[in-house]
Amino acid sequence: MKIRKAVIPAAGLGTRVLPATKVMPKEMLPIVDKPAIQYIVEEAVAAGITDVLIVTGRGKGLIEDHFDNAYELEDVLRRKGREDVADEVAAIAHMANVHFVRQHKPLGLGHAVLAARSFVGEEPFAVLYGDDVIVSRESVTGQLCRRFEEYGKGVVGVKEVPREEVGKYCTLAVSPLKEGEFAVSDMIEKPTEEQILSCWSILGRCVLPARIFEVLAHQAPGRGGEIQLTDAMAVLAREEGMIAVDFEGKRYDMGNKLGVLQAQIEVGLTHPEVGQGLRAYLKELAKTL
């Protein structure tokens, strides 16, 4: 079944990047010249997604404005002969059908996904975490959708992380299927050392069957008192199995300060306008470090 819908949870408080996120949503932090969430919507669109639901919350209005038309700005740019920039700005509002829903309290990622239930209905859908930007050759959402279509089971995007960092993410019980693909039979959110099943963790992307909503609706709070998406996916993994895909791509965590800096530098180096200048600057700077 073709995946047409995507959900981007973007209602978290972003406490790890305060004070930058006191007023500005972390999903709006720029990487060179585009806010993080624009890269994420572009990734969904590149996978053939036509309808995107962004789950927002208090103080996240800037995200809605970014995906809306900005008539006055476009008008001023066109009068100044800046057609190229005006077109670029205008195109953001037409990338996909972008919808919004509010998560009234930030009760966890699973709770945010549950807010998408009536938008999604009965079809499978992609979830792209609003603060995880992934730069890849083929859209990572596309890589996961392909596997969903192939196996007919929920798919999670995974990477092997250093053992001492697994506790920050989640841990998966996996058995290999083929190069870069695994069957998943269980998972645990933010495991303690004794609970670690493997060093494979979910990083920012999954494609889920609509059944996840039934599970989420009855899900008790887990780690940190939050309704965890991982806990609901663990139920699916145990009941019907899931697929893990070691995706091609580099992920940047825009929810942490170092992640934001790494994204700026690495994406900046490939940027057609500033890449060369940044490279020269970094080489000079490196000599002084």
* Contact positions vs ligand UTP (CB under 6 A): 9-16, 55, 103, 106-109, 111-112, 129-131, 255
Min dist CB 102 to ligand UTP, Å, is 10
Q: Is 78 in contact with 88 (CB distance < 8 Å)?
A: no
What gap in Å lies between CA 75 and CA 184, rounded to an integer? 52
Closest residue to ligand UTP, judged by C-beta, is 12
Closest to ligand UTP by CB, 221 or 275: 221
Min dist CB 110 to ligand UTP, Å, is 8
**Which of 194, 184, 175 has its CA nearest to residue 238?**
184
Tokens of 35: 């806010």
Closest to ligand UTP by CB, 153 or 255: 255
Closest to ligand UTP by CB, 15 or 276: 15
Closest to ligand UTP by CB, 198 or 228: 228
Closest to ligand UTP by CB, 36 or 278: 36
Q: What are phi and psi of 120, to 5 degrees?
A: -80, -40
Min dist CB 68 to ligand UTP, Å, is 20
3-state SS record for 97-144? EEEEEECCCCCCHHHHHHCCHHHHCCCCEEEECCCEEEECCCCHHHHH
Min dist CB 212 to ligand UTP, Å, is 15
Min dist CB 144 to ligand UTP, Å, is 17
Min dist CB 56 to ligand UTP, Å, is 8
Min dist CB 13 to ligand UTP, Å, is 4
Closest to ligand UTP by CB, 14 or 222: 14
Closest to ligand UTP by CB, 21 or 143: 21
Closest to ligand UTP by CB, 66 or 111: 111
Min dist CB 11 to ligand UTP, Å, is 3
